A and B are shown apart, each in its own frame.
Chain A
Amino acid sequence: MNPTASAPATGLRARTPADEGVARPVDEHRAEPGGPAEAGPDEPVFSFRDVTLRFDATDVLDRVTCRFGDGCVSVLTGPSGAGKTTLLRLCNRLDVPTTGTVLFRGRDLATLDPLALRRRVGMVFQRPTLFPGTLGDNFAVAAPAGGRAHEDALEAVGLPADWLDRPGDQLSGGEAQRACLARTLLTGPEVLLMDEPTASLDFAATRTLEELTTGLARTGMAVIWVSHDLSQVARIADTSVVLLEGRVATDGEATAYLAGSVRHEGPPGGEAP
């Protein structure tokens, strides 16, 4: 209940193949909160410092302080309306904080060119947002040069390289979302923001996208994945941050929240130990 709680991304153990599809016991989710580490190999990709975002007199985010690491999948979870998507949108400056600071690799986001930043910090949205036209037309928006790079992008997400001429509206939801991921990868991002990208997908398509993304994290990409599905959190998270009503949950609240869902006991209460 401490609104100024500083909750660094909670460390989870490293993912192993044995974890695939297995919800880990909540105790294994928990690790000691890490101390500030803004240099060296543990330098966070994003640091939020006392970030508040007010919209229509409501604090969508309330003095949020947290960090997201490099080369791993950080999951941002919490109930609907907790501010997860808003927090994600602050990372590529689709929104800006009312007060507080967001740092990207130690530099204040407000001082960076937003257009260059957005090419380094790619985003995949909740619903597949293919533009009108073919996949090639879509990819040309991200990378006008096209050619081999477009085919490589399709292959990178497991779609046939000869699909460039295929109209976007002929794809299934899962294929479209993979095409959106491919389009995002064409800007050469070092961070991927995934805003509940599997919310409208069936389980097989969800697993495909999860595996693609965790694979990208293994190659060194930082992934911040918003999800309210805690079995998904268990499958993909290296670290997690729990948001409750616009603020970062205390360790106790986070444990209770994650435990509640993993044990399928319904929505977690605020009964922090």
Chain B
Amino acid sequence: MTATSVTTGYVGWVGLVASLALVGMAVAISLWQRLDLERSLVWASVRAIVQLLAVGAVLAVVLSPRVPLAVSWLWVVFMVVFAAETIRRRAPEVPRARPLALASLGLATAVTLLVLFGLGIFPLDARTIVPLAGMVVGNALTSTVVAARRVVAEFSDKRSEVEARLALGLSSRDASRPYVRDALRTAMIPQIEATKAVGLVFLPGAMTGLILAGEKPLQAVLVQAAVMFLILGAVATTSAAMSIGLARQLFTADHRLVRLSRATG
């Protein structure tokens, strides 16, 4: 329909305003079905534009060749801290969520970027550090919340089972293993499913962006595959760190299960 703009990959201000027609469709559906979501839809759209413009302005500075690489790393640290705070808010029932999230996300970001840059998969510069770390943190955030909430739910709902294991003389690590495993699987399976469906069911953002920007499809595919594997590794690392770290918080040093607020025991 708009073949010319796709070949250039350029969206102007007029194009952006035109795309608001799609938000208008969503608002119309909300009004029609009395969902009472119109204000949320408009607010979300305005926020998205403002936030992206602000980030774009900052990125323009960070990515400038004259700015030292340290600024990019600072940006990564900021993303990790902000994501940890988001996790704390999204999982209020999780004890010590912020430090655990900081540690898990920090670990996942460090390990995955070390692999990407250490093996020379991507060149080390501001143009790669910031977006790749963004992919790691953004995707790891969701799975970390799922893992943390699931661990707490498992240990609350199955408190009697966990204590029955402790009562048989199992260490807290052994007693918690089945429940940590379950939480970890729950956190990782959506990403595995997404990886399986990629290309068939949906075209992921990085690849779509590259193709829209005029990159050759094969190159876009290679980048996208590397990014998907990056996300898989990040999700596994951060979920594991969160689940295991959180499970340890739920026991005392002498192998007692601490009382959780949701617990009924």
Contact = CB atoms under 8 A, between A and B. Distances in A.
Q: Which 9 A-B pairs have the closest CB atoms?
A: A119-B169, A129-B164, A123-B167, A118-B169, A142-B168, A114-B254, A129-B160, A115-B169, A114-B255
Given A55-B259, A93-B256, A114-B254, A125 B170 contact: no
A95 B256 CA distance: 7
* Residue from B164, B166, B257, B259 having most chain A Cβ neighbours under 10 A: B164
B182 to A, nearest CB: 10
A94 interface: yes
27 contacts: A93-B255, A93-B256, A94-B163, A94-B166, A94-B167, A94-B256, A95-B256, A96-B256, A114-B255, A115-B170, A115-B255, A118-B166, A118-B168, A118-B169, A119-B168, A122-B168, A123-B164, A125-B160, A127-B160, A129-B163, A131-B165, A131-B178, A141-B165, A141-B168, A142-B168, A183-B168, A184-B167
A132 B254 CA distance: 26
A187 interface: yes
Interface of B: 160-161, 163-171, 178, 254-257, 259
Contacts of B167: 92, 94, 118, 122-123, 125, 184
Contacts of A96: 254, 256
Contacts of B255: 93, 114-115
A55 B171 CA distance: 24
A261 B175 CA distance: 40
Interface in A98-122: 114-116, 118-119, 122
* Residue from A92, A115, A123, A184 having most chain B Cβ neighbours under 10 A: A115
Nearest to B256: A94
Given A93-B254, A93-B256, A125 B168 contact: no
Given A93-B256, A96-B254, A131 B170 contact: no
A187 B167 CA distance: 10
A118 B168 CA distance: 6
Contacts of A115: 169-171, 255
Contacts of B168: 118-119, 122, 141-142, 183-184, 187
A96 B256 CA distance: 9
Given A92-B167, A131-B178, 7 more contacts: A94-B257, A95-B256, A114-B256, A116-B169, A122-B168, A129-B163, A187-B168
Nearest to A110: B254
Interface string A205-248: 00000000000000000000000000000000000000000000
